[in-house]
Amino acid sequence: MCQSEARRGPELRAAKWLYFPQLALRRRLGQLSCMSKPALKLRSWPLTVLYYLLPLGALRPLSRVGWRPVSRVALYKSVPTRLLSRAWGRLNQVELPHWLRRPVYSLYIWTFGVNMKEAAVEDLHHYRNLSEFFRRKLKPQARPVCDLHSVISPSDGKILNFGQVKNCEVEQVKGVTYSLESFLGPRIPAEDLPFPPATSCGSFRSQLVTREGNELYHCVIYLAPGDYHCFHSPTDWTVSHRRHFPGSLMSVNPGMARWIKELFCHNERVVLTGDWKHGFFSLTAVGATNVGSIRIYFDQDLHTNSPRYSKGSYNDFSFVTHMNKEGIPMRKGEHLGEFNLGSTIVLIFEAPKDFNFKLKAGQKIRFGEALGSL
């Protein structure tokens, strides 16, 4: 026997040893291909997790029989974030023993850099559960509202992006965009909205920009877990309509926003639309992992992350009635709603061309500070 054949001996024996498992795997993959898509995802999910966790090449033989791992994005999207967030919400409602409150809250304060000196109640024993601690109120003087500028920050947080809306696309972070129409949703009858239906990108934008010489602007504010979780009215305006999108509850931190295109369009959100002195104005509260609870103080009919609502649908509610022809008037700085844990606020509004933001991308901002003015 020549040396080359001797060297190939172990390889040939290994190939024969793998022959029967490969046949079995091919049969199994053939059976999987006949399954429904949900069942197929369920069966391939454990292998995909192992593929990304095990050392490189550990599951390479599977690729020889036609198996391909699910992408990391698809894998993350398949995680039942709504169910996990619902479970987390129930856990947050559990009352903690009096002796356990200080160590639990102190760990959270240390981890996320919470400033308890701003809290209306600094005594940690006052908060019966995690939910009450997350939704703590601030001292009245802790966040003075800027009266010199027309638009203020509705919350504490970090500025992810801001500027003019171009080509009906809005940046969630630098270089990653989402569709304005997908984010705000399909149009409904004109009598229920401050703008009529649209059929294309150009007409959609033109219906939002109701006054000649105006432009459409946006601002994205990310609330970290350590931030103050309530949000307020960013200007004097009238809320005429609410649209609730049940959806996923994926993380909205900047790293994830760079990773998943149109993340804000996938996640559960509540869109409030109306008018201010320069035309169209909207504020959208976007949910996130463990933040299935979005509360709007004047909207008692809103129930987020509810099992009765399915992803991909939306629910409309008009605040314009026969008794109330205008809607809900909101004053700048007035309490508007709250999150559990942290999330994202997106402002989309119409303003004259000389509107200027007083911001830098990535800067920290607090509720009441100026976003921009004319």
Residues classed as catalytic: 156, 232, 343
Place of tokens 């790293």: 255
DSSP 141-197: GGSPPPSSSSEE-SSSEEEEEEEE-BTTEEEEETTEEEEHHHHH-S---GGGSSS--
Instruction: Name the CA radius of gyration of the chain, rounded.
Output: 26
Place of tokens 């109701």: 210
Residue 157 buriedness (CB in 10 A; 0-12 / 13-18 / 19+): buried
- HSE-up of residue 146 (Cα within 13 Å, Cβ side): 19
Residue 191 buriedness (CB in 10 A; 0-12 / 13-18 / 19+): exposed
Instruction: Name the DSSP class of 138.
Output: B
Residue-wise burial string across 254-272, b where 16 or more C-beta atoms lie within 10 A, e elsewhere:
bebbebbeebbbbbbbbbb
CA distance 161 to 191: 32
The Cβ of residue 210 has, within 10 Å, a number of other Cβ atoms equal to 15
Amino acid identity, position 251? S
Q: Where are the alpha helices (DSSP H) in the chain?
A: 3-33, 37-53, 60-63, 72-77, 81-92, 98-112, 130-134, 180-184, 201-208, 254-259, 263-266
Residue 188 buriedness (CB in 10 A; 0-12 / 13-18 / 19+): middle
